[in-house]
């Protein structure tokens, strides 16, 4: 069929009129309404899931922020604390304060005499009670010889009973607390000695095998130091590599290869970076095990590709007219980048950094490989101290059998979320400051 003939007939016939019928228009609007409905449903589903998640975490975790305490009158027996009348720090440090607490407890329950019975009675109170007395005495040695009222955390099982997580109506064999312990607890309650208070231990201590003594601060500081190392390494390195690759590097086979590899690295499973850290950082360079320094290096390797890709995209998005304007007045290539391109790209760079760091903060697999899964009681004070991080801590607690660790696990997730939100808020604040129209 010849083109000329087709064109000829098509040109001769006028184009059909648009369909202006009500039915046609209704169909178009119906399609739009349907699309909006789907969108609303998707958003509603997402919000509902988020709400379920938050409610279940907060509902389970909030109780970890307060603890069950008992107040006892403790006689600070000079014979027990400083037998030979010395009150130097060493003597005060080494005294058996737990015995004083037990003595006081026995005063409330004089009928308990049997050896096993007494041992069980002593277990009502957390074995950190001695530390409470020690702190009081060391702060003010003149208290020795007096009777003072001190508040001690109760054991985690009694705490669970107090918070209502243990059902009294179950047969004794299916409960973690015995009938006898419940009776003792009830007597303490009836004498008005049991109270609840803010759980400062949780926010100010490191991990412990005893749930009532376990705190999140160790993991929090571990995460903080790890993130610090990650930011300090990944952000400048990533941004500078991206600027070089995007603005200065010649476009040839080598840079193309580098680009492909960076894109591939962004998709490498995180545990591979952990193995790399184990083999190279610990194996070859002999860096300390379980240290936030190593964790930070591993996570920054993992974050680098994300930062580089996001930064390059942000640099590419800067309008070429701005570059031309700067070149036109005689700016050098570096001046063009530093004075004009980088400020305009900063919001995009920050977005990339947020995504990368949020992923790094929630990462646990690579850190397991370099030993950050160890049980560490001390709160780390430097990047070389052994530490664990929040996600690993949550994993450790979730793995622990005690009932009281359930609330700790959820509370740990709350702290992790708070950390994440704070970090993002800072990044969004920085992004806002640089956001400009052009």
Partner 1 sequence: MNAISPAMSKMSGRKVTVHYGQKQALFDVNLEIPERMVTALIGPSGCRKSTFLRCLNRMNDVIDGCRVGGEIVLDGQDIYDASLDVVMLRARIGMVFQKPNPFPKSIYDNVAYGPRIHGMGATKAELDEIVESSLTRAGLWNEVKDRLDQPGTGLSGGQQQRLCIARAIAVSPEVILMDEPCSALDPIATAKIEELIDELRENFTIVIVTHSMQQAARVSQKTAFFHLGYLIEWGDTEQIFTSPKDERTQGYITGRFG
Pairing mode, strands 147-153 and 66-75 = antiparallel
């190392």: which residue's tokens? 229
Pairing mode, strands 194-198 and 147-153 = unpaired
Q: Rule CB under 8 A: choose which of 339, 426, 432, 433 binds partner 1.
A: 339
Q: Give CA–CA dist 121/74, Å, rounded.
A: 16
Q: Between residues 37 and 334, which has the closer beta carbon with respect to partner 1?
A: 334
Query: Per CB under 8 A, does 326 bind partner 1?
Result: yes
- Binding region for partner 1 (CB under 8 A) out of 111-119, 124-132, 349-357, 430-438: 430-438
**What are the phi and psi torsion angles at 75 (to 5°)?**
-85, 120
CA-atom Rg of the chain in angstroms:
33
- Binding region for partner 1 (CB under 8 A) out of 53-61, 206-214, 254-262, 322-330: 322-330
Q: Between residues 162 and 340, which has the closer beta carbon with respect to partner 1?
A: 340
Beta carbon of residue 436, minimum distance to partner 1 (angstroms, whole number): 5
Q: Give CA–CA dist 53/433, Å, rounded.
A: 32
Q: Rule CB under 8 A: choose which of 144, 182, 258, 331 binds partner 1.
A: 331
Query: Per CB under 8 A, does 344 bind partner 1?
Result: yes
Q: Which two tokens stand for residue 319?
A: 């309008």
**What order do you get walking across the sheet with 147-153 strand by strand?**
147-153, 66-75, 194-198
Q: Which two tokens stand for residue 28?
A: 């178009």
Query: Per CB under 8 A, does 332 bind partner 1?
Result: yes
Query: Per CB under 8 A, does 255 bind partner 1?
Result: no
Site for partner 1 in 121-150 (CB under 8 A): none
Compute CA distances 409 → 15, 49, 397, whole Å: 70, 20, 6
Q: Rule CB under 8 A: choose which of 136, 143, 280, 322 binds partner 1.
A: 322
Query: Per CB under 8 A, does 249 bind partner 1?
Result: no
352 C-beta neighbours (distance < 10 Å), count: 25
Query: Per CB under 8 A, does 330 bind partner 1?
Result: yes
Nearest to 129 by CA among 228, 187, 201, 80: 201
Beta carbon of residue 433, minimum distance to partner 1 (angstroms, whole number): 14
- Integer distance in angstroms from the first to the last C-alpha of the chain? 53
315 C-beta neighbours (distance < 10 Å), count: 21
DSSP state of 379: P
- Binding region for partner 1 (CB under 8 A) out of 64-72, 155-163, 185-193, 331-339: 331-339
Q: How many CA atoms lie within 13 A of 229 on its CB side?
A: 21
Query: Per CB under 8 A, does 95 bind partner 1?
Result: no
Query: Per CB under 8 A, does 436 bind partner 1?
Result: yes
Binding mask 280-319 for partner 1 (x = CB under 8 A): ---------------------------------------x
Q: Rule CB under 8 A: choose which of 71, 91, 255, 335 binds partner 1.
A: 335
Nearest to 301 by CA among 317, 280, 285: 280
Query: Per CB under 8 A, does 46 bind partner 1?
Result: no
Q: Give CA–CA dist 226/251, Å, rounded.
A: 36
**Coil vs helix vs strand at 285:** coil
Beta carbon of residue 394, minimum distance to partner 1 (angstroms, whole number): 44
Q: Between residues 110 and 330, which has the closer beta carbon with respect to partner 1?
A: 330
Q: Give CA–CA dist 390/130, Å, rounded.
A: 29
Query: Per CB under 8 A, does 253 bind partner 1?
Result: no
Query: Per CB under 8 A, does 324 bind partner 1?
Result: yes
- Binding region for partner 1 (CB under 8 A) out of 43-51, 295-303, 336-344, 349-357: 336-344
Query: Per CB under 8 A, does 340 bind partner 1?
Result: yes
Q: Rule CB under 8 A: choose which of 317, 325, 425, 426 binds partner 1.
A: 325
Nearest to 219 by CA among 427, 424, 421, 408: 408
Q: Rule CB under 8 A: choose which of 251, 284, 399, 401 binds partner 1.
A: 251
Beta carbon of residue 392, minimum distance to partner 1 (angstroms, whole number): 44
Q: Between residues 13 and 251, which has the closer beta carbon with respect to partner 1?
A: 251
Beta carbon of residue 434, minimum distance to partner 1 (angstroms, whole number): 10
CB proximity list for 281: less than 8 A, separation 6 or greater? 287, 294, 297, 298, 370
Beta carbon of residue 243, minimum distance to partner 1 (angstroms, whole number): 16
Q: Between residues 128 and 335, which has the closer beta carbon with respect to partner 1?
A: 335
Query: Per CB under 8 A, does 341 bind partner 1?
Result: no
Q: Which two tokens stand for residue 31?
A: 């399609």
Binding site for partner 1 (CB under 8 A): 251, 319, 321-332, 335, 339-340, 344, 436-438
């Amino acid at each position: 069929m010849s083109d000329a003939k087709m064109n000829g007939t098509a040109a001769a016939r006028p184009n059909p009129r648009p369909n202006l019928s009500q039915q046609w228009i209704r169909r178009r609007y119906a399609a739009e309404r349907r699309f909006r409905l789907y969108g609303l449903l998707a958003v509603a589903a997402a919000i509902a899931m988020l709400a379920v998640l938050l409610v279940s975490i907060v509902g389970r975790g909030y109780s970890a922020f307060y603890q069950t305490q008992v107040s006892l009158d403790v006689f600070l027996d000079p014979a027990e604390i400083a037998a030979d009348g010395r009150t130097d720090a060493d003597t005060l440090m080494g005294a058996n304060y737990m015995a004083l607490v037990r003595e006081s407890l026995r005063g409330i329950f004089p009928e308990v005499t049997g050896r096993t019975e007494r041992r069980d009675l002593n277990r009502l109170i957390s074995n950190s009670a001695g530390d409470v007395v020690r702190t009081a005495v060391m702060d003010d040695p003149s208290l020795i010889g007096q009777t003072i009222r001190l508040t001690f955390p109760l054991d985690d099982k009694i705490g669970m009973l107090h918070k209502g997580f243990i059902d009294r109506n179950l047969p004794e064999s299916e409960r973690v607390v015995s009938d006898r312990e419940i009776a003792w607890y009830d007597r303490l309650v009836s004498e008005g000695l049991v109270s609840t208070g803010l759980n400062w231990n949780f926010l100010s201590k490191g991990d412990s095998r005893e749930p009532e003594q376990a705190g999140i601060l160790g993991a929090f500081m571990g995460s903080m130091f790890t993130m610090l190392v990650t930011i300090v390494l990944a952000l400048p390195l990533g941004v500078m590599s991206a600027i070089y690759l995007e603005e200065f590097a010649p476009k040839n086979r080598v840079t193309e290869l580098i680009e492909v590899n960076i894109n591939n690295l962004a998709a490498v499973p995180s545990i591979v970076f952990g193995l790399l850290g184990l083999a190279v950082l610990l194996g070859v360079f002999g860096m300390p095990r379980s240290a936030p320094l190593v964790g930070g290096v591993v996570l920054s390797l993992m974050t680098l590709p994300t930062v580089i890709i996001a930064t390059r995209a942000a640099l590419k998005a800067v309008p070429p007219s701005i570059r031309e304007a700067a070149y036109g007045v005689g700016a050098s290539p570096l001046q063009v980048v530093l004075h004009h391109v980088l400020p305009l790209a900063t919001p995009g760079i920050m977005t990339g950094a947020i995504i990368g760091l949020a992923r790094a903060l929630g990462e646990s697999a690579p850190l397991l490989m370099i030993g950050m899964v160890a049980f560490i009681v001390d709160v780390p004070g430097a990047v070389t101290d052994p530490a664990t991080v929040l996600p690993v801590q949550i994993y450790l607690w979730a793995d622990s059998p005690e009932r009281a660790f359930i609330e700790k696990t959820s509370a740990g997730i709350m702290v992790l979320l708070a950390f994440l939100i704070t970090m993002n808020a800072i990044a969004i604040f920085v992004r806002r400051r640089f956001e400009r129209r052009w």
